[in-house]
């Protein structure tokens, strides 16, 4: 297992220490590792979604229809 040394502001250190103290993570390393894993998973999901969208071809909706749909989802709390 590799070792990393990371410097963070006091407020972030306090936040991490609180997360460990509350028992969700057993160590600071567990917490940081979980953050890195989730970041990697989110990036991979985004790349997969972009590839899927690119491969799906040209859509039939107009720019106005796309914008209206996004505004509707936003106002309904869906995004």
List the domain range (segments joined by +) for residue 37: 10-75
Gap between the Cα atoms of 59 and 54, Å rounded: 10
User: What's the number of domains the chain is made of?
Assistant: 1
pLDDT at 79 over 90: no
Gap between the Cα atoms of 32 and 5, Å rounded: 12
**Mean of pLDDT over the chain:** 95
4 within domain boundaries: no
pLDDT of residue 10: 98
pLDDT at 73 over 90: yes
pLDDT-derived band at 70 (thresholds 50, 70, 90) equals: very high
20 within domain boundaries: yes
């Amino acid at each position: 297992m590799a070792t990393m040394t990371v410097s963070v502001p006091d407020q972030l250190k306090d936040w991490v220490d609180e997360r460990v103290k509350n028992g969700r993570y057993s160590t600071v390393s567990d917490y940081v590792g979980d953050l890195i894993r989730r970041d990697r998973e989110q990036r991979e999901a985004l790349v997969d979604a972009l590839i899927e969208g690119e491969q799906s071809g040209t859509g039939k909706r107009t720019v106005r229809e796309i914008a209206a749909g996004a505004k509707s989802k936003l106002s309904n709390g869906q995004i």
